[in-house]
Amino acid sequence: MLRINKTTDLVAIGRACIDLNANEIHRPMEQTMTFTKYVGGSPANIAIGLARLGMNVGFIGKLANDQMGRFIHQYFVEEGIDTKGIVTDHTGAVTGLAFTEIISPSECSILMYRDNVADLLLNSSEVNEELIAQSKWLLVSGTALAKSPSREAVFVALDYAKKYDTKVVFDLDYRPYTWESDRETAVYYNLVAEKCHLIIGTREEFDMMEALLQESHEDEVTAQKWFDYSADVVIIKHGGKGSIAYSKEGEKVQSGIYETAVLKTFGAGDSYASAFLYQYLQGGSLEDSMKYGSASASIVISKHSCSDAMPTLEELESKIMQGTYIK
């Protein structure tokens, strides 16, 4: 294992795309005529959220050689994200698009265009070893495992992380429409989870992983499974009921939620992850880290965008101090 100076807090690898969020809310997409463009994709959103909070962040991925790809790259630059791990596709691949529908706070949907997208064409030889070597943490998103060569690139990144003693966060980020079969999905998710130190996902995402062996686990059993491998912390999200964090040392913490005027539901998971990681990576307790995550989620779901809505540290701490926290 090689040890070098760690100057980057976290580097994310995987999907960076475009969100097109409906401007005409409270109506189905069939009746929506205009959309606003934002940077999207779970690992991109988490990286942006961490950078907005003042963390030193990098990104590894492949962008299309088109107007959307250049928009994403410039956005990262403006947010202070290290882009030396980003490469440009030259095969004619496109930027992934996600159209969102906001009918009501509880009724939202996403229409994804993921055919021939550049982010899934990241080659294993294009993974920036130096950036992972200088990072304290690597964030892996499950979406990047859906296709080759992106899949192999993730495993190379994991090998670099082990080589340089870089800890790994696995954001499960399961999108069924990008996979060929449930069993294929579960196999690769399990192989990656075995190598990770912190795993974040919904109860349904963990159920998908456990279905490979026809298992059905309670949260405590699920967490213990990953503690038997490399995990130190497992966070299982239960939607509006909050999240539960388990530590290898036996700690169990139930998060609460902050009251907010909900506009949409999407973006909550990414904003939660970014703020949780911000606090946790600085040595914060699980309880405090989960409060940061919940506060960030409450801010983002009250706004139109995901990436643009990621709070600054001042906004986040104001919410924690002044908001109503229900546990």
Question: In whole angstroms, what is the distance from residue 122 CA to residue 118 CA?
Answer: 7
Residue 26 lies in a domain: no
| Cis peptide bond prior to 149, omega within 30° of 0 | yes
Does residue 11 sit in helix, strand or coil? strand
Give yes or no for residue 239 having a pLDDT over 90: no
What is the 8-class DSSP label of residue 256?
-
Question: Is residue 30 in some structural domain?
Answer: no
CA–CA separation, 36 vs 245, rounded Å? Answer: 35
Spatial neighbors of 152 by CB under 8 A, at least 6 apart, are 123, 124
Given a cut of 70, whether residue 100 has pLDDT beyond it is: yes
In this predicted structure, the answer to whether residue 18 has a pLDDT above a threshold of 90 is yes
CA nearest to 253, candidates 287, 291, 218, 288? 287
Checking if the pLDDT of 215 tops 80, the result is: no
Give the strand order in the sheet containing 135-141. Answer: 82-88, 57-63, 8-13, 135-141, 167-171, 198-202, 233-237, 243-247, 252-254
pTM of the prediction?
Answer: 0.96
State yes or no: pLDDT of 251 exceeds 70: yes
pLDDT greater than 90 at residue 204: yes
According to the model, what pLDDT value does residue 104 have?
A: 86
Residue 51's contacts (CB-CB under 8 Å, 6 or more residues apart) are: 57, 79, 80, 81
For residue 145, being part of any structural domain is answered with yes
pLDDT attached to residue 270? 96
CATH number at residue 172: 3.40.1190.20
Tell me whether strands 57-63 and 325-326 are parallel, antiparallel or unpaired.
Answer: unpaired
Query: Which amino acid is present at 50?
Result: L
- On the question of pLDDT at 2 being above 70, the answer is no
Residue 211 CB neighbour total at 10 angstroms: 14
As a dihedral over the C-alpha atoms of residue 275, residue 124, residue 78, residue 56, rounded to 10 degrees, the angle is: 50
Antiparallel, parallel or unpaired: β 82-88 and 57-63: parallel
Residue 21 lies in a domain: no
CA distances from 305 to 20, 36, 39, 302 (A): 9, 9, 9, 9
Which pLDDT score is estimated for 211? 87
DSSP letters, 74-118, are HHHHHTT-EEEEEEE--SS-B--EEEEEEEETTEEEEEEE-TTBG
At 3 the pLDDT is: 65
Residue 29 is assigned to a structural domain of this protein = no
User: Is residue 236 assigned to a domain?
Assistant: yes
Express each pLDDT in 136-190 by its tens digit: 999 999 999 999 999 999 999 999 999 999 999 999 999 888 898 999 999 999 9
Structural domain for 166, as ranges: 8-15+42-92+122-326
Considering the domain boundaries, does residue 126 fall inside one?
yes
Interacting residues of 285 by C-beta distance below 8 A, sequence separation 6+? none
The reported pLDDT for the residue numbered 4 is: 79
Cα-based torsion angle of the residue sequence 253, 53, 87, 164 in order, rounded to the nearest 10 degrees: -60
Q: Say if CB 82 and CB 59 are below 8 A apart.
A: yes
- Model confidence at 106, pLDDT cuts 50, 70, 90, reads confident
Q: Does position 214 have pLDDT exceeding 90, yes or no?
A: no
Among 50-59, 131-140, 236-245, 314-323, name the one with the lowest average pLDDT.
Answer: 236-245
Q: Residue 242: which pLDDT band, with cuts at 50, 70 and 90?
A: confident
Tokens representing residue 181 in the block: 């079969």
Specify the number of domains making up the chain.
Answer: 1
> What's the pLDDT score for residue 78?
98
Alpha carbons 304 and 316: distance in angstroms, whole number: 17
Q: What value does the mean pLDDT of the chain take?
A: 95
Give the residue, 241 or 192, on which the prediction is more confident.
192
CA angle, 288 as apex, 285 and 291 as ends, to 5°? 145
Give a yes or no: residue 64 inside a domain: yes
**pLDDT at residue number 108:** 86
Q: Look at 120 and 257; give whichever has higher pLDDT.
A: 120
pLDDT at 5: 86
Is the confidence at residue 216, as pLDDT, over 80? no
Distance CA 177, CA 186 (A): 14
